[in-house]
Every structure is written in C-alpha cells, then in structure tokens.
Structure 1
Amino acid sequence: MILEYVRPETLGEALEYLARPTPKTVPLGGGTVLNAPSDQSFAVVDLQALGLDKIELKGRSIEVGATATLQTLLEVEEIQPALAEAIRHESAYNLRQSGTVAGSLVSGGGRSPFLAAMLALGTDLTWEPGNQSQPLGEFLPLRAGAWPGSLITKVSFSLQTELAYHFVARTPADRPVVSAVVARWPSGRTRIVLGGYGKAPLTILDGEANEGVLQAAEAAYLTAEDQWASAEYRSQTARVLVARCLETLS
C-alpha cells in the first residue's frame, strides 16, 4: 500500500526523501512494478520532474536516463538489433511506453530478456549522490538489499559491441523458458549470459570464447528446474542457444 506520494522538483530533494528512515521510501519511475498489488506499505518518490529521461549518444557509447522508457530506447536507431528484439520481447507496447529502463533492470528476474541483454552488454549504472559508476553485473547480487538515499540516474553501454539473442518460449509472446545472449567487443572479449530461470540472468563467460563454452552452458543449467521446464531440457537447450548466438556473430 502506498502511504505517501511526493513529486520533488530537484534531484537533491528526491535523495532526501529516499534517505529518510521512515516511512520506507522508494523511487517511482513508470509505475509498472510499484502499482502492482502489494502487502507492504511504503512512500513513493515520483521521478518524472527530474529530467532523467534523456538519451544521449556519446561517441561510441550511449547514455540512457534512468526514467527513459523501454519504448523510447527501442526507437533509438543506433542500438544493437538484438537489443531491440530483447526489448520487444520484454513486454507489450503499452507496458514499454510506461516501463522505465532503470526500473526494468532493478526489478527484472531471470526470465527478463532486457535484463539479460543489458547484462551481456556490460552495462554500467550511475548512482547519486556521488556520480558513482557500478557495473550491472556487480549490482544484481546486491539489489535485494536496502539502498537508502541512493538513486540510479542513468545507464550506459557501448554501441560497438555486437550482440546476438536467441530464446525458446512456450509461445513467441511468452517470457523465455531458456535464452542466451552473447556480446562480442572489437577486442575479441566475449560475454555469454543465460536467461529464463532464477532470480537473475547468469553470466557464464566473460573473456575469450573457447571450445568449452558449450559445455559450460550445459553445466550452468544442470539443476535449473521449475514449473516451466525441467533441468535436463534447460541444460540441453542452453547449449543449443549459445551455439546459435556464436554462429550469428561469426
């Protein structure tokens, strides 16, 4: 239940609200998550007046404001086609118009195509106060903890990175049962991420791809069983999807 709604005009004011010990206060971007039914009581800080929705091309990289919507990012012609596909797969058009980039990263689970793609791209988060940078991969294991007085203001990633995304789902519109995303930098660095299971996508390689990556993909999901798929199916399918991604980038 939402106890209080505030709409600050400045970033400093927003951070003050988020830092207060009581009531529990959380940022509100597009509202697609916080507007869902909940047994918890909290106050919300609406971020829409803070100008955090801008998207800027910075040389070979892109900076995306925290409250930019998924649809706005999708419409940027310079982003990787595979990222655009992952965004379309993330949610329907109406939800993409309200769901924010930062909100989707903070709340996304293991079956989120967008979170998997952004993790593969080596996305960096910028936090205030302090203009501190943090890799998305470092944040994900910690995101369940409290972050009082802190706010993601933007995310950034390279546009030079090649990206491939393949998935298996019950229907084309469903979230993946298994997915694979492979990013490759001009230097040859390769990052492989599996999705479709658990609390967050799983990075299985960040370095130089070798003959063992398919076995690593298979091993990563040996116990990945839930109501959507057996571990055996996920394990075998992960291997196939990683192979497809690598072939796409070859």
Structure 2
Amino acid sequence: MILLLTSSIDLRTTPQRVLRHDLQTRLDDYKTALVDWLARPVSEIDGIVFADNTAYDLSELEEFGHRNNAWNKPLEFLSLGDNNIPPGIHYGYAELGLIDDALRSSAMLGDSYSFVKATGRLTFPDFSRLITRLPDEYDAAVDARCRIPAFRPSHTHITTQIMLFNSSFYRKSLTGVRSRMTTREGERHAEHVVYQALREATPERGIIYRFPVNCEPVGVGAAKQKFYSSSSRSIYARGRALSRRVSPQVWL
C-alpha cells in the first residue's frame, strides 16, 4: 500500500480560493503531516509519494523527509501538473488532476496494488484503526455523508481528505473524473462527482461507502481556516461515531 500525499504549497501565483494561503504556513502544515506519516510502522504504509501541483521547489521538503525517515520508508517527491481551475468550479478539480498525474508519473504508484490518497497538510490519528477494520480486498473505501434511509439527496458526497483504492480500479473507473465537474449544483465539487462515479462503476472486489470507524482529520481547513479539533467539530465527530454503531444506514 502506497500513500499519496497531495499538495499545493505555493498559491502566490494562483487566484486565492482559500484563506490559508500563506506560503510558510502551508509548508509547515505539510512538514507536520509528513513527520506524522513517517512515524507510522512500515507495515501500515510501504512507501510515500508526495506530489505537489504548484511548481514549488521540493528540495527542502525532500531533505526534511529523508532526515525524519526513522523507518527508512521509500520516498518519492514529484512536482506535477498545475493548479489551474476553471471559473466557478471547486478547487478539488486541481487535486483530482494531481492524482491522475501521480498515477501516471510515480514509479511507486505504478507498481502499487493499492494506495491511500490523503490531503498532505492533515494528519489522521485513527488511520491504524481504520485499516485494521477494513476487509483485505476492496476496490475503494471512502466515507460518504448526507444520506438517510429511503432518501438520497443530490448533495450526497464523500470526503476526499482520505480515500483508499485498488490502483487498477482507480485507473479504470476514476481517471479523468474531474471532467465531470461543472458549475452546476451537485457537480462543482470533487466530493460529489467522485461519489457519482463510484456509484456507476463496476467493482470486482466491492466498494465500501462508509468507514467502519471514524478517521477524522487533525489540522486546519484551508478554505475557511477552521480547526478540525474545535469543540463543535469534536461533538459532531462523536455523534458520527455513535451513528456508525447504532444506525449504520444513516450517513452523517
């Protein structure tokens, strides 16, 4: 299993779509998250690919990664694609393009059986619990939200901060999925179009639409600079964890 960390470090030359756009602040976020992933046992993650789409010089981050690589995990740092986003479309458009570029360009991802896509600025303390609760085989494992029994609104979506895929399934079913993004409601966000593409796919090993345990991010959201560990979000996370046990058919 290869970890793909997606990155947009330098937003100085792109239109500001997020509040957390200071270069040094974002770089520090990526360093913090990278150290956390590097500290995980080798059995959880076999290698890490760090892919950035802002043409930022990754030499400093690469040196930082190797210096903090206590488990000597294979590391790959890639500067790929661009951060251009069509008007009226969410910034997830650039991230989906980065995933496609990384799958085409990365030596480690090219040889991988499966991979985890994680937003490179965030950490996920419960990742170990998540992978131990997932089955051995699946095509995709994502966490869907906004669904109640007998009613599936158009805004049902998945969280794209962390997702797990069989590599061949992603190439077959999700490569180029960002072309579905439009300015229309329910199509301008990556979270919506990835969910719809999964619903239309033909899986061989099955798709998991709801994580068996919470895998909440830790860090600061880029769009509005909201802390994921705030009191209000912690209360909501506890409610979501309870619903997984008592009402698994409800996607909160």
Quickly name the TM-score band, shorter chain normalised. under 0.3
- Structure exhibiting the larger radius of gyration computed from Cα positions: 1
State the structure with bigger RCO (CA 8 A, min sep 6), 1 or 2: 2
- Which structure carries more strand by proportion? 1
TM-score computed with the length of structure 1 as normaliser? 0.26
TM-score computed with the length of structure 2 as normaliser? 0.26
